[in-house]
Structure 1
Amino acid sequence: MDKLIKPEHFATWKSMLDIDIRQSFSSIEQFVLEPHSFTFYTSVSVMSSSKIEGEPMEVDSYVKHKMLHIEYLPELTEKPNDLYNAYLFAHENELNRSHFLQAHRLIAAHLLPADQRGVLRKTEMLVMEHKTGRIQYEAAPLSMVADRYDAFWRELEDLLQQDLTIEEVFYYASFIHLAFVNIHPFSDGNGRISRLLEKWFLREKLGERAWYIPSERYYYQHINAYYKNLARLGLFYEALDYEKAVPFLLMLPQSLTFER
């Protein structure tokens, strides 16, 4: 079986970069943090990721909820708060298979019944674009999910042990996001946890300042491009064309500079 997290598109991706990743990330490493900075940036990341999945609460309102303890209706805050708890868990724990499943249990607290949290799905899966309701693509067939999930983690564990350049870190973080979301191994919460996984991998490789990369906000602010770039690969899992993945893979480094 070919690798799921594919190295062969790195050269093309790097040739198309128009951002100095090291310099741009260095500015994130150097800005002054306040006591509330992690709460603020995590709130923005969490609500941006949640809005990609169709949650109605505005990002600014959620920031007020977390920073100023302003109460809103539970149906507005429950699912974002579950995702926030998963980000806190990731912040405090290393990235491994066991911790990843625990993060999904936290994310899925108000998405799935208890027996479906942190376990692989048992049904076929169509991935829908939340903004339009259109079918985005067909996820990995049920017969393949367990094997692909295991192969994905073996590749990810290998990457976690490798010394990578900062360009390779961003490339593989994006590809981890993409490969995981294409498998769609859980019954729900796959999009949310794929964006957390991307950030978690960045933290493992680059340190704690990786949590301040505004990737989720960038994806939300460019949601049409996000879905379009995912859709470029094709409709069926077994026929995905990863030659067309580069536009999606370029979005993560672009997030480093879009708010300046």
Structure 2
Amino acid sequence: MNKQLLILSNDLLSDYLGKVPEGLKYAFEALKDAEISTDTFSFYISVSSVYSSKIEGEAIDLDSYVKHKKFGIEFSPDYTRKIDDLYDAYTFAKVNELNKENIAQAHSLLSKNILNNSRQGTYRAQNMYVSTPDGRIEYVAASSFTF
């Protein structure tokens, strides 16, 4: 049985498609990575990884990470490990179909140095939040879901 990942309703799809400017698809497909990128290094995936990690409280700067990723400059593993995992997950997601198995695989990659092995690639059942030092809830994650 073929199951599709259903996150959004398609009720508004025809209205959306009627408003998309002609040529947008071709312009999107023509996007290229930054000149600094190589076959084994993507500048934009590095930027995404660093700033996503900053949202989660990691203290790393883009310049250091680019030097680490592009030129192999070594930093303390604690400084780059989680961002490397996120980079690997973004790279995986970029070239793989969006489906239940690949979402689990991407989660395994990005949580390699965050969660125990038994929790990697699994879907959470509880609500998650981030609180301030005084106990106030600052951020609430999207609700969990099942396929």
Whole-Å Cα distance in 1 between the matches of residues 52 and 24 of structure 2?
Answer: 23
1:74 to 74, 77, 97: 77
Gaps of 5+ in 2: 1-5
Identity across matched positions, percent: 33
1:49 to 27, 52, 55: 52
Q: Is 2:118 the partner of 1:110? A: no
1:137 to 136, 140, 143: 140
The answer to whether the 8 A contact 1:82-1:107 is kept is yes
Q: Is 2:141 the partner of 1:149? A: no
Structure with larger Rg = 2
- Within 5 Å, which residues of 2 pair with 1:89-104? 89-104=92-107
Whole-Å Cα distance in 2 between the matches of residues 85 and 32 of structure 1?
Answer: 18
Alpha-carbon distance, 1:90 to partner = 3.0
- Can you list the C-alpha shifts for 1:110-168, whole angstroms capped at 9, x where unaligned? 1111111111224x3233378xx74333643xxxx4xx321xxxxxxxxxxxxxxxxxx
Aligned residue number for residue 129 of structure 2: 127
The answer to whether the 8 A contact 2:34-2:44 is kept is no
Gaps of 5+ in 1: 151-260
Alpha-carbon distance, 1:35 to partner = 6.3
The answer to whether the 8 A contact 1:86-1:104 is kept is yes
Larger RCO of the pair (alpha carbons < 8 Å, separation 6+): 1
AA in 2 matched with 1:45: S
Normalised TM-score (structure 2): 0.69
The answer to whether the 8 A contact 1:129-1:136 is kept is yes
AA in 1 matched with 2:79: L
Alpha-carbon distance, 1:92 to partner = 4.7
The answer to whether the 8 A contact 1:104-1:118 is kept is yes
Q: CA RMSD in A?
A: 3.5
Whole-Å Cα distance in 2 between the matches of residues 49 and 32 of structure 1?
Answer: 19
AA in 2 matched with 1:62: Y
* Other structure's SS at 1:44 match: helix
Normalised TM-score (structure 1): 0.42
Query: As a proportion of its length, which structure holds more helix?
Result: 1
The answer to whether the 8 A contact 2:111-2:120 is kept is yes
Whole-Å Cα distance in 2 between the matches of residues 83 and 113 of structure 1?
Answer: 16
* Other structure's SS at 1:135 match: strand
Whole-Å Cα distance in 2 between the matches of residues 127 and 41 of structure 1?
Answer: 28
